[in-house]
Amino acid sequence: MAKRTQARTSKPGADSGSGPLDDRVRMLILCGPDNYLRTEKLHALRAAVEAKRGDVDVIHFDGQTAAPADVLDEARSLGLMQQYKIIVVEDADEFVKRGENRRSMERYAQNPAEDATLVLRSPTWNAGKLDQMVEAVGRVVRCEAPDPAQALAFCIQRCEKRYGCTIDRRAAALLVERLGTGLARLDAELSRLSLMTEKEGDEIDIDLVRRSIPLSREDKAWEVQDALLTGDPPAALGKVIELMTVSRHDPVPLFFSMIDLSRKVYAASRLLAEGRQDGSIARAARIWGENTGTVLAAARRMAPPAAAALMRDAIRAAQRPRQSLGTPELGIEILALRFVSELQPR
């Protein structure tokens, strides 16, 4: 059953396609796991078409149940007073798998309607011959989840353009660190944080993010990295003991957090030895968040062979309890001292 939606406009997000989304696009594949980008791209298409053609009729079909004849009849038939139409097939990957549906789409791509755009939208997509045929008359846009740097840039731009405020770069980095890179969740949180500023145009600072988005139990395991990076034995041991005895954390996430820190220090140390700049190192080694500068400072204090040995020791420490070679708690405490002996300021 098709359903019609009311007009809505929005600005496009980032994607891997190229070229404008407008009425010259006869067919469009919107695929990828990021639902926010898939939705934004559809809104961008509608906004561009409305700017040139006036009102647009948008019709949605459920790809799980729709018949190809119904979809194509809707695309080829004239709308009310020759109104431009955007026909959207949701869960399009399932749609094209059924029967002869893919071949029907391929035949349509050879001669698409002039006053309609047929959109195949799906979180998953198996590329094939249809993609090439669609690209000849339109676009294939892959809406992949952004990396942390792209998510951070999104937060900064979204605050300014949508919510009438600014966000401190450190606050944006912390927001991504605590919520992940899903743009829909970040956008919802930015909307909430913007309402918590005193007046329009105010800045969302890092203290507001800290107060508003507390660490989850799983996230607290990552606090051990900051303690280890201080190079201070009491601080490092105090943190691991607190997490294991007070918070009663499972040792496995703690080991994982420590191994991840050793990986970042080793990667940064090696790239520093190659003469790379800080920004390039952070991107290549996937170092982001509040402790980026501290990790790079620690890497400068370690030669690559020493950093590699630390990473090997962290991996072995995590394996030893599984081999009945000591308790996890003792292993974590010894590993913490191994870290601070290497990372303490000289």
Q: What is the pTM of this model?
A: 0.57
Strand partners, 312: none
Average pLDDT of the residues of the chain: 84
pLDDT at residue 281, rounded to an integer: 87
Looking at the predicted structure, is the pLDDT value of residue 9 above 80?
A: no
> In CATH terms, is domain 12-142 a member of 3.60.150.10?
no
Looking at the predicted structure, is the pLDDT value of residue 126 above 80?
A: yes
In this predicted model, what pLDDT tens digit does every residue of 169-184 receive, in sequence order?
989 988 888 888 888 8
The domains of the chain are located at 12-142, 148-212, 217-343
Angle between the N-to-C axes of helices 169-179 and 183-196, in degrees from 0 to 180, rounded to the nearest 10: 130
Could you tell me which CATH number the domain at 148-212 has?
1.10.8.60
Give percent helix, percent strand, percent coil of the chain, each to the nearest 5: 60, 10, 30
In this predicted model, what pLDDT tens digit does every residue of 177-215 receive, in sequence order?
888 888 888 998 898 898 888 665 688 998 888 888 765
- Phi then psi dihedrals of residue 4, to 5 deg: -105, 145
Q: What is the DSSP letter of 199?
A: S
**What span, in angstroms and rounded, lies between the C-alpha atoms of 131 and 16?**
14
Mean pLDDT value of segment 298-317:
91
Residue 14's pLDDT band (cuts 50, 70, 90)? very low
pLDDT at residue 103, rounded to an integer: 93
Cβ–Cβ under 8 Å, residues 307 and 299: yes
Q: What is the DSSP string of 278-334?
A: HHHHHHHTT--STTHHHHHHHHHTS-HHHHHHHHHHHHHHHHGGGGTSS-HHHHHHH
Residue 233's pLDDT band (cuts 50, 70, 90)? confident
Q: What is the DSSP letter of 172?
A: H
Q: Is 274 exposed, middle or buried (0-12, 13-18, 19+ CB in 10 A)?
A: exposed
**What span, in angstroms and rounded, lies between the C-alpha atoms of 275 and 204?**
35
Q: Return the CATH architecture of domain 217-343.
A: Up-down Bundle (1.20)
Cβ–Cβ under 8 Å, residues 156 and 169: yes
Which residue would you say has higher pLDDT here, 345 or 311?
A: 311
Write the Ramachandran bin of 207: left for phi over 0, alpha for psi from -120 to 50, otherwise beta.
alpha
**What span, in angstroms and rounded, lies between the C-alpha atoms of 62 and 215?**
39
In this predicted model, what pLDDT tens digit does every residue of 31-68 receive, in sequence order?
998 888 898 899 999 999 999 888 888 999 999 999 99
Mean pLDDT value of segment 234-254:
79
Question: What is the residue type of 199?
Answer: K
Residue 235's pLDDT band (cuts 50, 70, 90)? confident
Q: Classify 59 as helix, strand or coil.
A: strand
- HSE-up (13 A, CA, CB side) for residue 158: 25
The region of weakest confidence among 102-116, 237-251, 255-269 is 237-251
Residue 116's pLDDT band (cuts 50, 70, 90)? very high
pLDDT at residue 2, rounded to an integer: 52
- HSE-up (13 A, CA, CB side) for residue 231: 13
| First-to-last C-alpha distance (Å) of the chain | 70
Looking at the predicted structure, is the pLDDT value of residue 29 above 90?
A: yes
In this predicted model, what pLDDT tens digit does every residue of 144-169 receive, in sequence order?
888 888 899 999 999 988 888 999 99
The region of weakest confidence among 15-29, 63-77, 84-98, 109-123 is 15-29
